[in-house]
A = this chain, B = another copy of it.
Amino acid sequence: MLGALAMGAVASAQTWIWYPGDYEIWLGNKMNNNRTERGAFFPPFWKSDSHYVTVEFSKQIDLAEPEEIEIYAEGKYNVKFDGKLRFGMPSRFTLPAGKHNLNIKVWNQATPPAIYVKGKTVNTDSTWRVTYEDKEWIDESGKASDTSATIYADAGYWNFNDPATPPSEFSLNLEPMGYVSVEDKTADGGRLYDFGKETFGRIVLKNTVGNGVVNIYYGESPEEALDMEYCETLDKIRFSDGEVTDLATNAVSAKSGDYTLDNTKAFRYVYVAPEAGVTVGDVGMLYEYAPVEYRGSFRCSDSELNKIWDIGAYTMHLTTREFFIDGIKRDRWVWSGDAVQSYLMNYYLFFDSPAVKRTTRLLRGKDPVTAHINTILDYTFYWFIGIYDYYLYTGDKAFVKEIYPRMQSMMDYVLSRTNKDGMVEGLTGDWVFVDWADFPMSKQGALSFEQILLCKSLETMKLCAEVVGDNKDGEKYGRLEASLRAKLLPTFWDEKRQALVHNVENGRQSDQINKFANMFAINLGFFDQAMTDSVMKHVMLNPEVPAITTPYMRFYELESLCAQGMQETVLKEMKDYWGGMLREGATSFWEKYNPEDKGTQHLAMYGRPYGKSLCHAWGASPIYLIGKYYLGVKPVKEGYREFSITPVLGGLKWMEGTVPTPNGEISLFVDRDKVKVRATEGEGYLYLKSKSVPKSSYGKFEKTGDHSYRLWIDTKDEINIKYKQI
């Protein structure tokens, strides 16, 4: 569902509402706590917040005629009408005509307080106000207090539009799936099931007979599933006809027959190994997924690139769940650095704005801030940048307004930990991450990479302050940004090596040069063109600078090349790197891929033979690169109010695709002598390089430079263009 559409829709249809952000925090705890490591529960190591347990919902109503409402609530509640409490917990209530105040206050420790009101015109939606502290005291005479002190927010909501499906009962979709092949591994019933591709869900054990423990070992690879000592995830189910307390194996107890596991796991392979005394008839699974719509599409003349796009989209689908998660096998957590890339890929695939909002809310949690987001310094900054991107792609001012106070307290935390130069360094409790790298990288002192992210975060604060009309703080953030920006080159620029050095410690530039800060400086516009060109040569394309081996940072690396018009190079890189994973048999993209690795080396990470995730959202970056730099579609003004379309074939014979916008789409077909384009939302320029002036069925191209032309598009109809590729 689209953010803007959803918000429009809510004004006319009732939906469950809650305190904004609280539902996400609750649902996020539930999801993050599904991680297991070899059968042990593995919760996050950062602070898990919780919902406000008592929330008041209020609405001023003005009715032409009396109206009966139905009231549903998750929690113990009261109803106050024009300041007077009603007996009990009324589920129906007739509102008289005229102007009145309706207040419903709900307490719920276990799940977020939520209500659903259904009437002819009075319905719960985002126009209701909510507070966790109504300050409605009375004085000795019984006079109610002035409640102007109460801080209200607009109610939070998602898509729970049915009173019978309250928010606390949310679940993803389930669908039965079967394996594609099975192999007997032992004489006594151990079997390896192959589900044909990376997948996610609950295993079903069918027709189980006898008494004893059935061991289930999961693998993203056959090696992992068959390695009972080192596979990352496993389950033990003790089947019997009665109740059994199984202190020895600590297995879950089940009755013989069919049994569906409670918990979900990621796998392609499952090794089911029953103990003597118990047999398993057959194995199945319930595939669990989010019902997202594939709104973006891509096809081109290169079938390998098509495969890369498809596997990227599937990787994104598997990791787009209650929230955008990192990967499905191991953490299954929301990580800010991973999420900010999922958001960008999402804008070119699902354009699921609610998923971005949910993830942003969960990552931030609540005040007080006691650590960086996910405890990682850089991840705090990606969180800010994700909001910048969200606003640019969706134009959703309401969300900026909602999240701005928590942006402020997060930035207060950051600014309370800067050094005397206004720069951030890793302090006690800060994880300075940057990337998983195979080369030495200092985490000491001020890293150029972190300062660039901080600078962009301050710019985000400035932008959002403008959106919400907070001029005073907007100016402050602008001043801090300008001050830090002015210090970046004097502090980190190495004129001789034409690069930003990695860090400065005790006032001295280090010798380390790598691509991280340099590519972010290019992508975020910190260099002028001459410097950019020089950095491209001396860093980005310099084989002596250490190579990046995670798709995570390849995302930004390849973006910086694309932004410099190097689509042909990047196309080759994509075919090499992502194509390389496909040639290794990948059915989803990986957490890390080093082409130098061989065989089972590809499975290892964190000192564990199967520690690596083989389905990791940050592996799917071609989705973003193709949409933004080949189809060439991006927003210029917030929410695609203005777009730009700069198709670049980059060596392809032809390509076609669709890029979703908040309430429409931009579709393209491009080959070497024609372009078909249709934009159902917004207006903007189409940029083309052509040997001669392109001819358009609508409007007229203007020349902007050597072989450079542009066409202003302000129609929703398809436009046919003839041109000559250079």
Interface residues of A (CB under 8 A from B): 26, 29-30, 33, 37-54, 76-80, 85-92, 105, 107, 109-111, 132-143, 145, 148-151, 234, 236, 247, 249-252, 367-368, 370-371, 375, 428-431, 436-437, 605-608, 611
Contact = CB atoms under 8 A, between A and B. Distances in A.
B605 A140 contact: yes
Given A41-B77, A46-B135, A428-B149, A88 B51 contact: no
Given A111-B109, A145-B431, A54 B29 contact: yes
A92 B245 CA distance: 12
B85 A40 contact: yes
A40 B135 contact: no
A156 to B, nearest CB: 17
B429 A149 contact: yes
Given A29-B53, A109-B111, A48 B132 contact: yes
Given A53-B29, A137-B45, A87 B39 contact: yes
Q: Tell me what chain A mostly uses at the interface: helix, strand, loop, or mixed.
A: loop
A45 B138 CA distance: 11
A42 B140 CA distance: 18
A328 to B, nearest CB: 19
A263 to B, nearest CB: 11
A9 B436 CA distance: 49
B89 A375 contact: no
B250 A89 contact: yes
A49 B150 CA distance: 17
Nearest to A430: B149
Contacts of A375: 133, 135, 137
B45 A136 contact: yes
B105 A43 contact: yes
A465 to B, nearest CB: 21
Contacts of A53: 29, 48-50
Nearest to A366: B368
A110 B30 CA distance: 12
A52 B47 contact: yes
Contact of A46 (B42, B133, B140): B133
Nearest to A29: B53
A48 B107 contact: yes
B236 A87 contact: yes
A671 to B, nearest CB: 44
A26 B109 contact: yes
B90 A250 contact: yes
Nearest to A376: B137
Contacts of A39: 87-88
Contacts of A86: 40
B109 A29 contact: yes
A45 B134 contact: yes
Contact of A107 (B41, B77, B90, B150): B41
Contacts of A428: 148-149
Contact of A43 (B51, B89, B107): B107
A105 B46 CA distance: 12
A240 to B, nearest CB: 17
A607 B90 CA distance: 26
A42 B85 contact: yes
A179 to B, nearest CB: 25
A29 B251 CA distance: 36
Contacts of A109: 26, 29-30, 50, 109-111
A130 to B, nearest CB: 13
Contacts of A142: 606-608, 611
Given A47-B52, A48-B54, A140 B436 contact: yes
